Amino acid sequence: MAGPTAGFEVVEGVRTHVLRGGDGPPLLFLHGANGGRWLPFMDKLAERFEVIAPEHPGFGRSDTPDWLDSVRDLGHFYQAFMEKLGLSDVTLVGTSLGGWIAAETTLRNAARLRALVLVAAGGVRVKGVRKGDLFLWSQEELTRNLVHDPALAERMLSAPVTEEDRNIGLKNRLMTARLAWSPRLYDPELEKWLHRIATPTLVLWGREDKLIPCAYAERFREMIPHARVRVFDSCGHLPHVEKTDEYVSEIIAFSEGARP
Amino acid sequence: MKFFLFHLMPYADLDLSAPDKYNSSWVTLPNSYYDPKKGHLLYNRYLDELELGDELGFDGVCVNEHHANAYGMMPQPGVLAGALARRTKNVKIALLGRALPLVNNPITIAEEFAILDNITGGRFIAGFVRGIGAEYFSWNANPAFSHERFMEAHDLIIQAWTRTGPFAFEGKHFNFDYVNLWPRPYQDPHPPIWIPSQGSTETIEWASHPDRRYTYLQTFSPLSALQKYMKQYKDSAESYGWEAGPANLGWATPIYVGETDEIAYREAKPHIENFYQKFLKMPLEMLLPPGYLSLKSMQGVMAAKQQVAVGARDIDAVMASGMFLCGSPKTIRDQLKRHQQEIGFGQVLSMLQFGTLPADLTRKNIELYAREVIAPLRAEEQAARAAAE
C-alpha cells in the first residue's frame, strides 16, 4: 500500500495526531508506552482494515491536555474519539499501555465495538508476579528486555535516533509515568469490573515477556472467561514486531469471526 | 556570613564494593549491608558532632531527608532534629528539608516543624524540597506529579501555620475539611523557609517571589553553577522590585581544613572521593525519573548529554570545580571570602563530615574550622562593620 496518511483531529480540545491507512472496517490501534509510529504490521492489517492509529493525548505529536491524569481519562477520550470520527463496528486493538486504555474504553461503552484485542496489556496486577521496571531500566536494558530475539534487540539499538525521536521519547516517557507510575501499570478499579466486558475479546501475549510476564495472560482469561487467549512462543513484549505474521492472522481471523 | 554545620549522616561503615556491585547506593542496595550495631554508634557519633557545633559557636546545624540509601541515614529527619532540639542551646536547627511531594498528608510536616519550633523557642528553620529522583522509586511517589504536589503541599503547610483553624483546604492532591494546627509555630508568622536546590529556573523564580523571599540554597554544585543561580535569584528579585541580600542566598558544600594544604589534601582524599564516587552513585534513570525535571529541562539535559550521573570524580576534579574546599585555614578563609565577594551568598552550609571521614578527622575538621576559619572571618566582618560606622 501507499503508506499511511497523517493528520490531526481535535477531540475534547486535544489536537490529536492520527495516522490512517487501508480500506475496510475500522481497526483502531492504541499504542504502548513507546509511542505510535507506523510499523510494518500496520501495513499488513491495512490490507483488510482501515487502520486508524492515533497518538494518545500527551504522546508524540498530540497535545498534552491539562485534564489528563489517568488511564481512565483516556478511556473517556477514546469514546469521544470514536464518536467524533463516526466509527462503528470497530476492532479495537491495544498493546501494553494501549491494551489498558482499550479495556477502559470498552468498559465505558462497547456499542461501537466489534471486537477487542488486548496485547500484553497493562491495567491489572497478579500478586507475586512482578512486572519489569521500565523506569529503572536504561534505554539499552529496556530494548533488550522488550524482545526475545537478541539479534532483533541489536538491530533496534543500532537504529539511528534523531533529535525529534529523542524528544518524543522523553515526552512519551513522562506521560507514561504520569499515567502508570503508581500503582505501577495497573488500576485496582479496572480489575474489579473487567468481568463486565461482553465484547468478543482476543488476548495475545509473548511467552517470554519480561515487562508484563505471561502469567498476566492467564489473569485476563480468568477475568474475561469468554476471551480467546493465544500465547506466542519465543516472543517478548512486542508480538506485533516479533511475531508479525501470526499476530496479524490472529487479529484478522478473530475479527472476521466476530463480524455482526 | 553565617556558618552552619551540615551533616548527611552517611552509613560510613559501608562495604565500598557494594555500590559498584549494585550500581547504586540507593533504592536497590540491599539493607543487609546495614549493621544496626554500627548504625547505633554512627548515629550517636554524628549527633555528638552536631552538638559540638553548638558548643563551638556555629550559627546553626542542619539535618535533611533521604530514603533507602547509604548516603544519608535520616529518612525521618524530625527524629534527629528532635534530639538536637533538647541538647543544643544556641544554634539554629535547620531541617533541609522535608520532601513535600512524597507524603500523602503534608499536615504531618506542618505539625512536626511546629513542634520543633516550639521546643527550641524559635531556633528552627524549615526546609522544603522535592527529594532527589531516587526517592520517587523508594516511596512509589509519582515523579510526574512532583512539581504540582510540592506547590500544593507548600500552600497547605503555610496556611496551616498562618490561618486560624479549623478551615477547609480544597486542592487537587490534598483535601481536608478541618485544618486546625495544634501547636501553632513559635515564630511569627512561621519559621524562616529555606529552599535547597541543585539549580532550577522555576524554583528560583518561585522562591524569590516577593510573597515568599525564601532563602535559596545551592547544594553540591560547581562554582560556575553557584554563580549562575545566585545571580539568577538576585536578578529575579530585582525584576520583582526588591533587592536580594546575602541572607537570601546560601551555599552547601563539603569542606576540609587541615593544618596545611598538603595535610588537608592527604587526609581528605579517600573520603571525599568515596562521597562523590560511592555514596552518590546511581544510574541516570534513578537520578532523573520522568517528570522530576520539566520536559523542557529534561530535553535540554539529554540534548547536551551532560555528565549528570555522578561518575569518576577525583579530589582534583572536585577541588578544581569548587565542589570541595580543601586546604589550610588560610586557604579556606581566602576562598570563602573571595567567593562570597564575587557571588554574594550569606549562608555557608559547611559539610565537615563526608563519605567515610572518620570521627577523629571530623572532630579535628570541625574544631579547626570553628577556630581558624569562622572566628577570624567573624572578627574581620566585625572590624569592617565598625570601620564603616
CATH number of the structural domain spanning residue B298: 3.20.20.30
Per-residue DSSP letter, B143: G
A/B interface, count of CB pairs below 8 Å: 53
Q: How far apart are CA B217 and CA B346, in angstroms?
A: 10
Q: Is the peptide bond before A160 cis (omega within 30 degrees of 0)?
A: no
* Res. B297 pLDDT band, cuts 50 70 90: confident
CB B43 within 8 A of CB B13: no
- Min Cα–Cα distance to chain A from B99, Å: 18
Q: What are phi and psi of A8, to 5 degrees?
A: -120, 140
Per the structure, the complete domain to which residue A151 belongs is given by: 5-257
* Res. B312 pLDDT band, cuts 50 70 90: low
* Pairing verdict, β B193-197 and B215-219: parallel
pLDDT tens column, A234-246 = 999 999 999 999 9
CATH number of the structural domain spanning residue A212: 3.40.50.1820
C-alpha neighbours within 13 Å on the C-beta side of residue B152: 18
- Min Cα–Cα distance to chain A from B167, Å: 27
Whether the per-residue pLDDT at B32 is higher than 50: the answer is yes
CB B342 within 8 A of CB A210: no
pLDDT tens column, B82-95 = 999 999 999 999 99
Would an 8 Å CB–CB cutoff place A34 in contact with chain B? no
pLDDT, residue B304, reads 66
pLDDT, residue B202, reads 86
pLDDT, residue B264, reads 98
- How many domains would you assign to chain A? 1
Average pLDDT on B311-328 reads 90
CB B102 within 8 A of CB B139: yes
A135–B291: do the CB atoms touch at under 8 Å? no
Cell numbers 476492532 label which residue?
Answer: A91
Give the H or E element holding residue B78: helix B77-87
Cell matching residue A168: 518524543
B290–A174: do the CB atoms touch at under 8 Å? yes
Regarding pTM above 0.90, the answer is: yes
pLDDT tens column, B233-273 = 999 999 999 999 999 999 999 999 999 999 999 999 999 99
The angle at the Cα of B162, spanning B160 to B164, to the nearest 5 degrees, equals 80
- How many domains would you assign to chain B? 1
E-only strand ranges, B138-242: 167-170, 175-179, 193-197, 215-219
pLDDT tens column, A47-59 = 999 999 999 999 9
* Pairing verdict, β A201-206 and B215-219: unpaired
Whether the per-residue pLDDT at B309 is higher than 50: the answer is no
Would an 8 Å CB–CB cutoff place A174 in contact with chain B? yes
Mean pLDDT of chain B: 95
The angle at the Cα of B69, spanning B65 to B71, to the nearest 5 degrees, equals 75
pLDDT tens column, B42-64 = 999 999 999 999 999 999 999 99
Radius of gyration of chain B (CA): 20
Q: How far apart are CA B123 and CA B84, in angstroms?
A: 11
Average pLDDT on B184-197 reads 97
- Coil, strand, or helix at residue B195? strand
- Share above pLDDT 70 across residues of chain B, in percent, rounded to a whole number: 98
Residues facing residue B333 across a β-bridge: none
pLDDT tens column, A142-189 = 999 999 999 999 999 999 999 999 999 999 999 999 999 999 999 999
pLDDT tens column, B126-170 = 999 999 999 999 999 999 999 999 999 999 999 999 999 999 999
Whether the per-residue pLDDT at B311 is higher than 60: the answer is no
- Coil, strand, or helix at residue B345? coil
Measured N-to-C along each axis, helices B36-55 and B77-87 cross at an angle, to the nearest 10 degrees, of 40
Would an 8 Å CB–CB cutoff place A234 in contact with chain B? no
B143–A181: do the CB atoms touch at under 8 Å? yes
* Segments of chain A scoring below 70 in pLDDT: 1-2
Per the structure, the complete domain to which residue B233 belongs is given by: 2-388
| Predicted ipTM > 0.90 | yes
pLDDT, residue B301, reads 74
**Number of residues in chain A:** 260
